[in-house]
Amino acid sequence: MIDVITLETSSLGDRSYLATDGQVAVVVDPQRDIDRVLDLVARLGVRVAHVLETHVHNDYVSGGLELAQRTGATYVLPAGSDADFAHTAVGDGEELTAGDMALRALLTPGHTHHHTSYTLARGGQVEAVFTGGSMLYGSTGRTDLVGPEHTLGLTHDQHRSVRRLAAELPASAAVYPTHGFGSFCSATPTSGDASTVGEQAATNPALTQDEQEFVTALIAGLDAYPAYYAHMGVANRRGPAPVDLSMPAQADGGELRRRIDAGEWVVDLRARRAFAAGHLAGSLGFELSGSFVTYLGWLHAWGTPLTLLGESEQQVLDARRELVRIGVDEVGASVGDVEALAGGQDLRTYPVTDADGLAGAVRAAEAGDTTATSGQPLVVLDTRLGSERAKGGVRGSVHVPLHELAERAGDLPDGQLWIHCGSGYRASIAASLLQRAGRDVVLVDDAYDHIAATGLTDAQTGQTQDT
């Protein structure tokens, strides 16, 4: 029996896999923090024969090179990956053996030109397929990461690749994708936690739509993706440096103030309501939770100084682990109570409300009552993605996606900004950025569904406004 063990990286929406026959193992698409894999290998008592990459990743820095070096495994990349370091390149149809396991490379372009899936068989029977960014659960990998000039051709390729998998593999074969669990590498949202090739025949758009219908729909649905993606492929082709998960050097309160005054980012990792209740003036709130690394990586200027401010060393170490996954290796740190670190400096605050509070303020403003905003005009700011906004928004609101805020903040109307998103997380980041820029802000910490339930929203975005 072949056992396939999933290593989840939920913060990036990705999965890595270790497959073993009980003696020998192969690892597929490992993340940068390979200690998780090494611990698993030691616990199972297996030998890693091959480390496989389905493609050169655009959303994270791979741990494959270091893992292969640490375990003595063969590092396998698809032919055409253009990696600058020694590796084994496999082409379409080539086979690899690891103990009782037989692996076969299937060229499945679409997510990238060189994208390759790997079938996993024992005794001549295909039991599974590692599909990377090709066949996902009810979706496919996005096709616009290589460059806009390639998107159309890769989208056609993606349709044909998924159909190839369905045609050549048994319906019972388990599907193990790398992306599709919240990753921006997924073209559309995925569904389910497990699937087979046969089950995908009924749900995957590449298998239920004809080629042109699929191409048109996928391209029309593509939205923005994190800016740090531009650096991931470069790092993965060059060969990532060994990972460092140690505690960074710590700074005291005076040094934090110097860094903030110099324009550096001091990132407070506490829960968003705790940040709103009191934080160092000029610091930024990025709650250490599921979306932390995506949005900090997206908004932070690549390569510029970054300091993590945590309540404990473990909180800082957890944040550092998230950041090394996207190649942010150089960080500073400070640990302790924010008030104590302030050392007499002023702490800043801003109000937090919920959907009902927002509804009350909007209706009061519509009636000419500005009590809720201390006499200022009320400006409702929607920081969701364009694809979310297209389904509706708060009437009269201004829409600026969070990733565009730095460039467009100066265009926001005068008044008190009541900021919302889909859950409160992105809005909390926006509130800290805008307060640092001198704006009066209120965080709406609630789900958009709750906001919609108050009757504030219009179904058509034409009834709301952009800056």
pLDDT tens readout for residues 393-402: 999 999 999 9
* Pairwise CA distance, residues 57 & 41, whole Å: 23
Answer yes or no: is pLDDT of 464 > 90: no
Strand partners, 458: 393
pLDDT number for residue 467: 59
Tell me the two tokens of residue 105: 């490379």
- Model pLDDT for residues 148-207, shown as the tens digit of each residue: 999 999 999 999 999 999 999 999 999 999 999 999 999 989 999 999 999 999 999 999
Residue 461 has pLDDT above 80, yes or no: no
Distance CA 81, CA 56 (A): 6
Average pLDDT over residues 108-124: 97
Which fold, 253-348? Answer: Oxidized Rhodanese; domain 1 (3.40.250)
3-238 and 253-348: same fold? no
Q: pLDDT digits over 341-394, tens only?
A: 888 778 999 999 999 999 999 999 999 999 999 999 999 999 999 999 999 999
Smallest CA-to-CA distance from 165 within 200, 141, 189 is with: 200
pLDDT recorded at residue 344: 78
Q: How far is the C-alpha of 226 from the C-alpha of 296, rounded, in Å? A: 10
| HSE-up of residue 347 (Cα within 13 Å, Cβ side) | 17
419-437 mean pLDDT: 98
Give the separation between CA 3 and CA 160, rounded to whole angstroms. Answer: 29
Domain 352-466 coded CATH 3.10.20.30? no
Residue 120 neighbours by CB under 8 Å, 6+ apart = 2, 4, 19, 101, 102, 103, 126, 127, 128, 129, 130
Bridge-based pairing state of the strands 441-444 and 101-107: unpaired
For residue 355, the model assigns a pLDDT of 98
Question: What local confidence, expressed as pLDDT, does residue 1 receive?
Answer: 84
Question: In degrees rounded to 5, what are phi and psi of residue 205?
Answer: -60, -30
d(CA 444, CA 423): 9
Confidence band of 321 (pLDDT split at 50, 70, 90): very high
CATH superfamily ID and name for 3-238? Ribonuclease Z/Hydroxyacylglutathione hydrolase-like (3.60.15.10)
| CB of 395 closer than 8 Å to CB of 463 | yes
Q: Domain map of the chain by residue range?
A: 3-238, 253-348, 352-466
Look at residue 236 and tell me whether its pLDDT is greater than 80. yes
With a CB cutoff of 8 Å and minimum separation 6, the contacts of 56 are 77, 81, 82, 83, 112, 114, 233, 236, 237
Q: Which residues have C-beta within 8 Å of that of residue 20, sequence separation ≥ 6?
A: 2, 3, 5, 26, 44, 46, 99, 101
**Strand, coil or helix: what is 265?**
strand
- Which one-letter amino acid corresponds to residue 104? R
Q: Which is it for strands 125-132 and 279-280: parallel, antiparallel or unpaired?
A: unpaired
H or E segment to which residue 221 belongs: helix 211-221
Mean predicted lDDT score pLDDT of the chain? 96
Residue 98 CB neighbours (<10 A): 22
Distances (CA, A) of 228 to 66, 232, 296, 299, 384: 22, 7, 10, 9, 19
